[in-house]
Copies of this chain bind each other. A is one copy, B any other.
């Protein structure tokens, strides 16, 4: 199901865009639903999509040493995951798996990256909000929230 562009407003990164810009992003955004235990993306694989978590909870796993992936974080609805799909070398740095039923808006990263380069003001705006979100995440991690 294609995404309703007004729903992108709920996410910091897309809140400051114009209606036309959100309309453009929605052209390559799909709404998807996953059951618990679904692996949305895997560490080390090509990062092709960014996920806006609308409903539900996911776990973030890393391979540490020779062990298999183990959980290092949980992410709640309202968050953006798979951000490494926006940054070279476009490789997911973690594995992410649904803990509950989830609803996500799935954005084609290559199309978004192209739009961000073609429209530098849009790219700059999305990056700025992403930085704010990452700085907030760093505070939470430092505080052990």
Tell me the A residues contacting B by CB distance below 8 Å: 60, 62, 64, 72-73, 83-84, 86-88, 93-94, 116-117, 120-121, 123-124, 127-128, 130-132, 134-135, 137-139, 141-143
Contacts and interface: CB of A to CB of B under 8 A. Distances in A.
Nearest to A126: B127
Nearest to A137: B138
How many copies the complex holds: the figure is: 2
Given A84-B135, A88-B132, A124-B127, 5 more contacts: A62-B142, A64-B143, A86-B128, A130-B131, A138-B138
Given A131-B83, A131-B134, A142 B142 contact: no
Contacts of A138: 134, 137-138, 141
Contact of A87 (B60, B86, B94, B131): B131
A137 B116 CA distance: 24
Contacts of A62: 139, 142-143
